[in-house]
Amino acid sequence: MSVSIETTFHDLINPSNSEYLDDSLPEFLQNIQINDDQITKVIALIGHKIQSPLELEAMTACHIIEFLVREGGNGIHKHIAMYKFLNDCIRVLSPKYLGKRTTTKVKHRVTELLFCWAEAMPHHVKLRDAYTMLKRNGIIKMDPKYNDRIMLKSVAKRDRPNYLDENRELLLKELLASKNPEDHAKANRLIQNMIKEDDEKVEKLAKRLETVDEANTASDEIIEILQQLSPGAKGFGLSQEDRDRVDQLYQACSRLRPTIFRMASEASTDGNVNETELTNILQVNDLLQKGISMFDNNVGEIQGTGRTSSGDNNGLDLLDLGDGNSSLIGNSSSSVNKIENDVLTNSLVDLGLEDLISTPTTQTNGLSAPVSNLPEITYTIDQLSMDAQKAATIYDKDGVRCIATPCQNKICVFSLMNTSNKPVSNFQLQIAVTNQVQVKIQDPDKTELPAFNPIMQQTINQIVCFTSSSNSIQIKFRMLYTHGGIAQQEMGEAKLLLN
């Protein structure tokens, strides 16, 4: 009966077999080179073992991968230059992951391998980028001495850096060969720009690596915990520790999913991102969606939030609903904006706004500070010139984000976006300002948003007019909306820069 490759590997890494290790490695390499799946399995096993808390086991894993890379050719090289294995190495070195517990000996060994591979195989750009990222983040303080035993450097001419394409290289040579000082200055600026572009690319790669790794870890863990539950279990069967952890993971997955989706969209049009990396991002996106769906089906809601279905009408239980005399905080044409006057007053007290005025429409609703100085004009988005550079995110939670963008004449557009997999409905915005400022809120262009769809993205836009002697004002706000059938009530404050 043939022995599986996993069993053979575990025999190799067993410390009790260390005296036979070097003699066994050539045959092991020959066996795994039969097909690519075998290599994939072994590289994954080694990536797991170099993270072992047992120093001898981790060092043995490093010894095995050194041999395989040195003797195995491109079939092995392409696998250790993939993000999955590089992420395993980063976990060993980074204090954010396992770096604090990893011994100095193991960290030096992993650093030495990465450095020598990056130097010897410059055509595998991910190796160099991963190593450069570790250096720029201060995780690797200085380069180790190059070790020819790990791999001999290629005698072939090194590839030109990614940022130095053929046209730029010719231009740079021409400028440097010139006797004109202005050309030398142009060459200097060109070099600086190229280095800056390369730095930005490495930083972007580092961020992408970290985000994909975080998403992969969170989705794997939530799926592993929740797969023991049946749909509709509502979390019953989980320990309190697992229940708390699942809530944290669900929030992490919801936060990461739109970011990963955006990365996939960007990667599909980025010539520097290869098909393997794009596939990896898409797989992580699928895992995030699976984890979120399992939570929705098997658990239902985050514990301790007091959030219930909108059908229970408990979204405002903590507020005094007054004596039933209703008033409007939006235009009379919007039935969804009807709310009790006492509710609005109590809301301001909840926000600590006793000394503030709230004038959400041209009607004062019995409150002080009429808005007669505000224009009676009703604006549309098409009439406004939005200043994206002064835009401020005033709210971002569970995939729902609100951005305030200044326009001309001290007008501001509040845009609500939904990047979650749940719909948003019944949106209302309340704003309170200081005595020196007046405000008029127009009705939003809509009050509902579907679940996130990258092909057809939608926003709720609400135009707000201010009068103020200053271009910088402080507001306090309350947002009411229903998210996935659960009533939400969110409060906050923000500083706006008006035009």
pLDDT tens digits, residue range 233-268?
787 888 888 888 888 888 888 888 888 877 777 776
pLDDT digits (tens, 9 = 90+) for 391-433: 888 998 888 989 998 999 899 999 998 888 889 998 999 888 8
pLDDT for res 448:
92
pLDDT for res 1:
44
pLDDT over 90 (residue 50): yes
Q: What is the mean pLDDT of residues 42-54?
A: 92
Q: pLDDT band for 460, please (50, 70, 90 cuts).
A: very high
Tell me which amino acid residue 479 is: M
pLDDT digits (tens, 9 = 90+) for 264-290: 777 766 666 667 777 788 888 888 888
Task: Give the tokens for residue 223.
Answer: 């799926």
pLDDT digits (tens, 9 = 90+) for 295-311: 888 888 777 544 332 33
On whether the pTM is more than 0.95, the answer is no
> What residues contact residue 307 under an 8 Å CB cut-off, 6+ apart?
301, 486, 487, 488
**Assigned fold of 5-136:** 1.25.40
Q: What is the mean pLDDT of residues 169-198?
A: 80
The Cα 399–Cα 257 span in angstroms is 9
CA proximity to 397, closest of 368, 420, 373: 420
Q: pLDDT band for 115, please (50, 70, 90 cuts).
A: very high
Task: Give the tokens for residue 126.
Answer: 């991910």
pLDDT digits (tens, 9 = 90+) for 189-217: 888 877 777 767 777 777 777 788 888 88
The length of the chain in residues reads 499
Instruction: Choose the weakest-confidence range: 81-95, 232-246, 262-276, 321-335.
Output: 321-335
* Structural domain boundaries in the chain: 5-136, 181-298, 326-497
For tokens 């010897």, what's the residue? 120
Tell me which amino acid residue 141 is: K
Q: Which residues pair with 466 in a beta bridge?
A: 439
Alpha-carbon distance values, 257 to 252, 273, 383, 419 (Å): 9, 19, 34, 8
The Cα 39–Cα 23 span in angstroms is 19
**Assigned fold of 326-497:** Immunoglobulin-like (2.60.40)
pLDDT over 70 (residue 162): no
pLDDT over 90 (residue 388): no
122: left (phi over 0), alpha (psi -120 to 50) or beta: alpha
pLDDT over 80 (residue 320): no
Backbone φ and ψ of 26, nearest 5°? -60, -45
Pick the CATH number of 181-298 from 2.40.50.140, 3.40.50.1820, 1.20.58.160, 3.30.565.10: 1.20.58.160
Residue 110 CB neighbours (<10 A): 26
Tell me which amino acid residue 203 is: E
Q: pLDDT band for 294, please (50, 70, 90 cuts).
A: confident
Are 487 and 315 in contact by the 8 Å Cβ rule? The answer is yes
pLDDT for res 329:
32
Share of the chain above pLDDT 70, in %: 80
345: left (phi over 0), alpha (psi -120 to 50) or beta: alpha
Task: Give the tokens for residue 460.
Answer: 């709720």
Extended beta strands in 233-373, E state: 326-328, 338-340
